[in-house]
Amino acid sequence: MLTTLSIITLAPGQARWALAQMGTAPRALRPVPGLRFQKLLGSGAGGFGALPNLHRYGFMAVWESAAAAEEFFQAHPLWQQYRHRAAEIWTARLAPLKAHGLWDGSNPFDYETEAPAEDGPVAVLTRASIRWLKTPRFWRYVAPVSATVAGAPGVRAAIGLGELPVVRQATFSLWESARAMQEYAYRSPQHKEVIRLTRQEKWYGEELFARFRVLGAEGTWDGRNPLADLS
pLDDT for 143-199, tens place per residue?
666 667 777 889 999 998 888 654 467 889 999 998 988 887 767 666 566 666 666
Whether 30 has a pLDDT exceeding 60, the answer reads: yes
State whether residue 108 is helix, strand or coil: coil
State how far the Cα of 220 lies from the Cα of 209, in Å rounded to an integer.
25
Residue 143 confidence (pLDDT)? 63
**Which of the given ranges, 126-135, 155-164, 206-215, has the highest pLDDT on average?**
206-215
Residue 158's nearest CA partner among 189, 191, 132 is 191
**Cβ neighbours, 10 Å, residue 114:** 7
Of 83-92, 131-140, 142-151, least confident by mean pLDDT is: 131-140
Residues contacting residue 43 through CB under 8 Å, at least 6 positions apart: 52, 53, 56, 57, 58, 159, 160, 161, 162
Chain mean pLDDT for the chain: 85
**pLDDT band for position 41 (cuts 50, 70, 90):** very high
Whether 74 has a pLDDT exceeding 60, the answer reads: yes
Whether 59 has a pLDDT exceeding 80, the answer reads: yes
- Interval 106-112 mean pLDDT: 93
State how far the Cα of 147 lies from the Cα of 198, in Å rounded to an integer.
17
203 against 177, higher pLDDT: 177
**pLDDT band for position 45 (cuts 50, 70, 90):** confident
Of 4-18, 60-74, 171-185, 187-201, least confident by mean pLDDT is: 187-201
CA distances from 227 to 36, 110, 217 (A): 27, 25, 7
If you classify domain 2-230 with CATH, what class do you get?
alpha beta
- Interval 45-74 mean pLDDT: 89
State how far the Cα of 157 lies from the Cα of 167, in Å rounded to an integer.
23
Residue 36's nearest CA partner among 75, 69, 78, 8 is 69
Residue 47 confidence (pLDDT)? 64
Q: Do 180 and 155 form a contact (C-beta atoms < 8 A)?
A: yes
Q: Do 60 and 210 form a contact (C-beta atoms < 8 A)?
A: no
Of 13-22, 74-83, 100-109, 165-174, least confident by mean pLDDT is: 165-174
- Interval 1-12 mean pLDDT: 97
User: Maximum distance among all alpha carbons in the chain?
Assistant: 48
- Interval 101-128 mean pLDDT: 86
